């Protein structure tokens, strides 16, 4: 959890139905550190987290979280964290048809999705975790975390299906989701990104520096927050630059890096 970042994100009104943080990264940048920020933040604030990891394995996330001072293993055994290994789901898709390896019914979820041209099976699977009885433990809300949505598209899911899926997910609580967006190469992906930007409550856009690589400034972050409240109807848009260090990320207004001043 990077306390610097929290200062820039206004927490939503308590009566709202949940936040939707959309993190987009351009081709020359990596936004996964924002995911780790939210993951550790929600775990620390005793929310239940359902994590659909399509990009990395659990041990990867665990190793990073450990550096940030959160033990994912312990959270998983206590039931606070549910990790769904999306890598396993995508594996049957890569296998050649008619191969002898038997896969369990769970692993074919994405295959079912592609055959039925709908992400309904995946949604049902997530619902099993989200609606699971938590026993005596009570949590403050549920967070669904997806890393990353663009992988579903790469695996052959249509963007309109991804938009549907996200709409349903929005109803089950807060969401943090990463989307990789490669410039103007893919029209469909751009359209999906715009649609999700309309739907989200907070959009965090990670880009590389337009002026090129720098040793002291690793990229820029644009935060756009929406409010349903009329009183602060003016859109809030903030541009920050950041530097990633071993265990922390420092954010500063553009042009005020300590290396410059």
Partner 1 sequence: MASLLKQIVSGSESGCTVTIHDTVDHSGRYLLKCFLKEMAQRVDEIHLFAFDQAPDALLAGTDPETRRKVKGHDGWTDPQGWNQDRNVIPSNYNAVQLSSEKSLVEHVKDRKGSGSGQIAVVIDSLTPYILHRSAPFTCKSLHALTHLPETSEFQVTQVVSLIHSDVHDDSVLRAIGHLSSTVIHVSANMSLAPLDREPMGYCDIQHKRASGKVLQKREGYSVGENYQIITFLGLPSTNTTSEPEHQPDPTANLTFNLTLSESEKKARENVVLPFTKASNNSTTGSGQIFYEPDQADDYDDEDPDDDLDI
Residues that bind partner 1 (CB under 8 A): 16-17, 118, 120, 123-124, 127, 160, 163-164, 167-168, 171, 191, 194-195, 197-199, 203, 224, 226, 228-230, 233-235
Rounded distance between C-alpha atoms, residue 59 and residue 73, angstroms: 9
Token pair listed for 179: 């989307």
Token pair listed for 31: 């936004």
Taking the complex as a whole, how short is the minimal distance between the CB of residue 75 and partner 1, in angstroms? Answer: 27
Helices (H) and strands (E) in the chain, counts: 10, 9
- Nearest of 70, 67, 109 to residue 87 by alpha carbon: 109
Check if the beta carbon of residue 91 is closer than 8 Å to that of residue 58: no
Taking the complex as a whole, how short is the minimal distance between the CB of residue 248 and partner 1, in angstroms? Answer: 30
Rounded distance between C-alpha atoms, residue 162 and residue 181, angstroms: 14
Measured from the CB atom, the residue of 78 and 229 that comes closer to partner 1 is 229
- Nearest of 14, 30, 10 to residue 150 by alpha carbon: 30
Measured from the CB atom, the residue of 199 and 209 that comes closer to partner 1 is 199
Measured from the CB atom, the residue of 39 and 146 that comes closer to partner 1 is 146
Taking the complex as a whole, how short is the minimal distance between the CB of residue 57 and partner 1, in angstroms? Answer: 29
Check if the beta carbon of residue 21 is closer than 8 Å to that of residue 177: yes
Classify burial at 104, counting beta carbons within 10 Å of its beta carbon; exposed 0-12, middle 13-18, buried 19 or more: exposed
Taking the complex as a whole, how short is the minimal distance between the CB of residue 234 and partner 1, in angstroms? Answer: 6
Taking the complex as a whole, how short is the minimal distance between the CB of residue 89 and partner 1, in angstroms? Answer: 18
Measured from the CB atom, the residue of 160 and 214 that comes closer to partner 1 is 160
- Nearest of 176, 170, 158, 172 to residue 119 by alpha carbon: 158
Taking the complex as a whole, how short is the minimal distance between the CB of residue 100 and partner 1, in angstroms? Answer: 34
């Amino acid at each position: 959890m990077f306390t610097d970042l929290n200062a820039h994100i206004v927490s939503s009104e308590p009566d709202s139905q949940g936040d939707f943080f959309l993190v987009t990264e351009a081709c020359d940048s990596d936004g996964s550190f924002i995911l780790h920020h939210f993951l550790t933040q929600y775990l620390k604030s005793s929310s239940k987290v359902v994590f659909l990891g399509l990009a990395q394995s659990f041990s990867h996330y665990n190793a990073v979280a450990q550096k940030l001072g959160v033990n994912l293993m312990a959270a998983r055994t206590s039931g606070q964290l549910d990790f769904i290994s999306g890598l396993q789901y995508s594996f049957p898709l890569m296998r050649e048809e008619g191969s002898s390896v038997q896969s369990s019914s769970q692993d074919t979820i994405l295959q079912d999705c592609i055959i039925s041209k709908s992400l309904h099976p995946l949604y049902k699977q997530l619902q099993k975790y989200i609606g699971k009885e938590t026993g005596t433990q009570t949590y403050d809300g549920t967070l669904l975390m997806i890393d990353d949505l663009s992988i579903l598209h790469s695996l052959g899911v249509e963007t309109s299906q991804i938009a549907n899926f996200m709409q349903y997910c929005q109803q089950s609580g807060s969401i943090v989701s990463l989307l990789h967006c490669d410039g103007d190469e893919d029209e469909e992906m751009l359209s999906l990104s715009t649609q999700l930007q309309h739907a989200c409550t907070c959009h965090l856009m990670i880009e590389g520096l337009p002026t090129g690589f720098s040793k002291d400034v690793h990229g820029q972050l644009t935060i756009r927050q929406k409010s349903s409240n009329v009183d602060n109807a003016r859109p809030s848009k903030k541009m920050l630059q950041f530097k990633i260090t071993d265990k922390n990320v420092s954010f500063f207004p553009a042009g005020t890096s300590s290396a410059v001043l």
